[in-house]
Amino acid sequence: MSDSPLRIVPNQPIKLDQPEDSASTEAATKQGEMAELRRLLVEPEQIQINNLLERLNNPRVRAREMSRNLTEAVRLRSSQDDSLTEALAPTIVTAFQSSVKKDPRPVAEAISPLMGPAIRRAIAAALSAMIQTFDQALKHSLSWQGVKWRFEALRTGKSFAEVVLLHTLVYRVEQVFLIHKTSGVLLEHVAASSVTTQDADIVSGMLTAIQEAMRSFARDSFGSTHEEHIDTMDLGDREVWFETGPQAVLAVVIRGKAAESLRGEFFAPALEAIHYEQRESLAAFDGDTTPFELSRPHLESCLQSQYEGRTDPARFKVPLYIWLLLALLLAALATWAFFAWRENRRWSDYLNRLRAQPGIVITEAGSRDGKRFVAGLRDPLAADPRAVLREQTRLDPAGVDSQWKPYQAFDPEIVEKRASSMLDPPPGVELKLNDGVLAASGTAPHQWMVDAQRLARAIPGVARFDDSNLTGEESESLRRQIEQQAVRFVVGTTWIAPGQSEPLNALTAQIQKLAALAPAAGRVAKIEITGHTDAEGDEAANQRLSEDRASRILALFKLRGIAPDNFSTRGAASKEPVHPETSAADKAINRSVSFKVSLLDARQPAAKPKESSR
Amino acid sequence: MIRKKICLLGAFAVGKTSLVARFVKSLYSDQYITTVGVKVDKKTVKVGDREIALIVWDVAGEDEFQKVQMSYLSGASGYLLVADGTRGNTLETARMLEQRVTETIGALPFIFIINKSDLAPEWEIDDQALAECESQGWTVVKASAKTGEGVEAAFAQLAEKMFRK
């Protein structure tokens, strides 16, 4: 068949190669027959071969088929040995790394449900451990025992922490040796932190030698026949526990007294795990200890310890006195806060009071060097801030620094005070400031009125001085004297009654004095002279008579040199009797003139022309 | 790290402990310390480019009152057989020990050290006896724990032998 190669075309009849020339047609026919025969004979197999080739050559078909068996294949292979895991491990690690590098979020999200509780637990444990340490520190530093230990630390040169640990130690696994059983060669070794260790190789050898020596001693002395294991070696403050396996021995150096349960809980399981994981390395051991580095975690799991008074952080309860201490601290804090708050309130209250004071302006206030301070401007007439501090607040004056610069304030109260201090009004005079007008009312000595008129204009903050409601003491007394006077007349005449010259002289003097005094105080004295008659006779005649009597007195004053300008006269007949008329004596009294004095502001008439001129 | 256990065997007072002291710490103590039981030491040597920690078990010497505990040899990769050149009978003890090792443990690589080469003129073991040993396939090294002569070489040869095995 090698001379007639076949081309296999799926689902098509088998073709032979083309004959080389027409002369060989017969041969070709023969061959065609052969092919036909072959087709008839092997066609089903041919189709199967074609299908197989298709399956082999088409990667898609292959992949589909492989996908059907992949899971089963992996399962099968994994049950045989670990080579698949080993082969896949680098790829998985690389895939993981590249996935994290590309986008760490999916990984972070996937592990966060695990990480969260773990972190929370770790934090809780750390906090609890911290409180525990604090508790221990308090206990150990405050007690008599603590003092003793401190002294011991000083004496031995150890740190205090170390001494405390030594005394509170119940037990501590200091070192763990993994030893090859027959040779005593050290396979791996771990030690607790801060434990000083000798050369572990030598110790391992010595431990094995000692075990051997003890065994042979047991054989020789007590005739033990089978291999006895030594479980424990007591070295005073330390013990060495041996855990013996088929090929390796675990030697555990423990300081203090440990519970026997450690053996079952930690040591035996660790040794078993090592025997299982390192079964090949142990069986073929010939000095190479490198593979046993992988056993370190198992050895480290044996590094257990327990201290007096120390309990599992998770089960540790915060002691009552720590709560009390905490409560005390809180109470102290609250008290301090309350006092600070109250002090602050008092301070702001003081500042508000100062601000409300006329003539005080606060420019700066606060705390400095543990003291409060306030600085600003103060009118010398304003209230004394120290007095306000002392009398109106409960602040400690020693804790307050004040700095005041003098200035002149224009608050009405201060201007009033300033006016009052500058004018020094006599009793009976009231000063009031209203819209810059200082108004004085009451009665004052004439001289004061004169001075006040002059001084008031110079007081800062006073625009005008109004003394229209002020009366001079002297003018007032003269007015009263004049108004008490009455000049009597003879019946029915304008003749002055006998014996009247003396009062008339006094009256003249009083009027002259008043006229002289009033202008200096800015006043003008207007005097109204009213004539009176008794009720006898004709009322019209009486009216005339009364007017004449008033004019008669005015003429008399003129004669005596009194300017008549500020006088007015009128007659009242018998309508305004000076005295109720019931007797002849009363009638005599009513035949008279009376005086009414008005002290008017001299400036008023002067102002009037100005207004009228507008 | 490669760790190999080796043992020192020999008659009483042939100077095994001194040899170890010389080898491990390179110092010599004239004061002989009678070894009771076993003393273990360690020394790191180089074979080719490999570092090997030799865990040296210094086993108590053999005399008429005390036999060397063969159990100390279990797991050893080789041993040093030590004799005292000035005491002829220590060679006999060495022969006997070698035989016992082969019987109880099996044939282990070993080096035969004749110690106290600094006292060569006083030697009772002559070259003929040594040649006899060598003819049996023993590797013989003359050494002195006091001067240090041959000590390093003996340990190095043992290390080599253990690896050639």
Q: Which of A202, A211, A281, A292 to mutate to test the interface with B (most CBs of B within 10 A)?
A: A202
pLDDT tens by residue, A20-60 = 555 567 788 888 888 888 888 888 888 898 888 888 888 88
pLDDT at position A316 over 70: no
Which residue in the set B4, B42, B72 is minimally distant from A212, CB to CB?
B72
pLDDT tier at A4, thresholds 50, 70, 90: very low
- pLDDT-above-70 percentage for chain B: 90
Kindly tell me if the per-residue pLDDT of A10 is higher than 80.
no
Helices (H), A177-246: 200-222
The whole-number pLDDT of residue A189 equals 94
- Cβ-proximal residues to A489 (8 Å cutoff; 6+ apart), any chain: A495, A496, A497, A549, A591, A592, A593
Q: Kindly state whether B57 is in contact with chain A, defined as any CB-CB distance less than 8 angstroms.
A: yes
Which pLDDT score, from 0 to 100, does residue A191 have? 92
**What's the pLDDT at A298?**
92
Question: Does B4 contact A185 at a Cβ distance shorter than 8 Å?
Answer: yes
pLDDT per residue as tens digits for the range A252-299: 999 888 888 888 889 999 999 999 999 999 988 988 899 999 999 999
Q: What is the mean pLDDT of residues A191-202?
A: 83
| The length of chain B, given as a count of residues | 165
Confidence of residue A604 (pLDDT cuts 50, 70, 90): low
- What pLDDT band is residue A381 in, cutting at 50, 70 and 90? confident
CA distance A376 to A551: 70
CB environment B13-49: b (16+ within 10 A), e (fewer): bbbbbbbbbbbbeeebeeeeeebebbbbbbbebebee
**Smallest Cβ distance to B37: which of A181, A209, A215?**
A209
Return the residue in B4, B40, B43, B68 with the most chain A beta carbons within 10 A, the one to mutate for interface testing: B40
Identity of the residue in B2, B42, B77 whose CB atom sits nearest the CB atom of A199: B42
Picking from A571, A449, A582, A469, the residue whose alpha carbon sits closest to that of residue A517 is A449
pLDDT band at residue B17 under the 50/70/90 scheme = confident
pLDDT digits (tens, 9 = 90+) for A80-132: 888 888 888 889 999 988 988 888 888 888 877 777 777 887 887 788 777 77
Q: A609 falls in which pLDDT band (50, 70, 90)?
A: very low
Q: Are A411 and A433 in contact (CB under 8 A)?
A: no
Question: Mean pLDDT for chain A?
Answer: 83
Amino acid of residue A23: A
Tell me how far CA of residue A404 lies from CA of A218, A360, A375, A378, A401, in angstroms.
102, 9, 6, 6, 10
Identify whether the C-beta of residue A411 lies closer than 8 Å to the C-beta of residue A359: yes
* DSSP notation for A531-567: E---S-S-HHHHHHHHHHHHHHHHHHHHHTT--GGGE
Predicted pLDDT of residue A611: 37
**Rounded alpha-carbon distances, angstroms, from residue A60 to A48, A57, A72:** 19, 9, 20
How large a percentage of chain A has pLDDT more than 70? 90
A199 touches chain B (CB under 8 A): yes
Q: Is the minimum CB–CB distance between A31 and chain B shorter than 8 Å?
A: no
pLDDT, position A139: 67
Contact in structure between A242 and A234 (CB atoms under 8 Å): no
The one-letter amino acid code at A241 reads W
Put simply, whether A282 touches B (Cβ < 8 Å) is: no
Closest to B53 (Cβ–Cβ): which among A181, A184, A201?
A201
- Under DSSP, the state recorded for B77 is S
B-chain CB neighbours of A202 within 8 Å are 40-42, 55
Q: Which of A83-97, A452-466, B20-34 has the lowest mean pLDDT?
A: B20-34
Q: Find, among A528, A533, A529, the residue nearest to A493 by Cα.
A: A533
User: What's the confidence (pLDDT) of residue B148?
Assistant: 85
Q: What is the dihedral of CA A601, A603, A606, A609, to 10 degrees?
A: -70
Residue A71 has pLDDT above 80, yes or no: yes
Interface test with B, best of A208, A211, A220, A296 (most B CBs within 10 A): A208
Complex ipTM value: 0.85
Question: Do A184 and B53 lie within an 8 Å CB cutoff?
Answer: no
CA pair distance B25, B42, nearest whole angstrom: 10
* Tens digits of residue pLDDT in B29-75: 433 344 447 788 888 888 888 888 999 888 877 776 667 778 888 89
Q: Rounded to an integer, what distance in angstroms lies between the CA atom of residue A595 and that of residue A575?
A: 16
Establish if B94 touches chain A: CB-CB under 8 angstroms.
no
**Is pLDDT of A607 > 50?**
no
Task: Please indicate, yes or no, whether the overall pTM of this predicted structure exceeds 0.90.
Answer: no
Contact between A489 and A495 under an 8 Å Cβ cutoff? The reply is: yes
Closest CA to A311 of A162, A141, A131, A146: A131
> Using a CB-CB distance cutoff of 8 angstroms, which residues of chain A are in contact with residue B74?
182-183, 212
pLDDT reading at B147 higher than 60: yes
Among B38, B55, B74, the residue with its CB nearest the CB of A182 is: B74
Question: Which among A185, A210, A216 has CB closest to B3?
Answer: A185
Residues with Cβ within 8 Å of A100's Cβ and at least 6 positions away in sequence, in order, are A107
- The pLDDT value recorded for residue A16 is 47
* Chain B interface includes A184 (CB < 8 A): yes
Please indicate whether, in this complex, the C-beta atoms of B3 and A186 are within 8 angstroms of each other: yes
User: Are B40 and A202 an interchain contact pair (Cβ–Cβ within 8 Å)?
Assistant: yes
Encode pLDDT of A133-164 as tens digits: 777 666 666 677 778 888 888 888 877 777 77
Average pLDDT for B105-133: 88
Average pLDDT, integer, range A341-358? 90
CB contact under 8 A, A289 and B69: no
Percent of chain A exceeding pLDDT 90 equals: 18
Are B67 and B100 in contact, with CB atoms under 8 Å apart?
no
In angstroms, the CA B86 to CA B105 distance is 29
Higher local confidence (pLDDT), A301 or A121: A301
Chain B residues close to A180, C-beta within 8 Å: 75
Q: Which chain A residues touch B3 with a CB distance below 8 Å? A: 185-186, 201, 287, 289
Residue whose token pair is 């013990």: A239
Residues 14-53 of B with CB under 8 A from A: 37-42, 52-53
Pairing verdict, β A437-444 and A429-434: antiparallel
A185 near B CB under 8 A: yes
At residue A4, the 3 state secondary structure works out as: coil
Q: Which residues pair with A439 in a beta bridge?
A: A432, A466
pLDDT of residue A593: 92
State residue B105's pLDDT score. 87
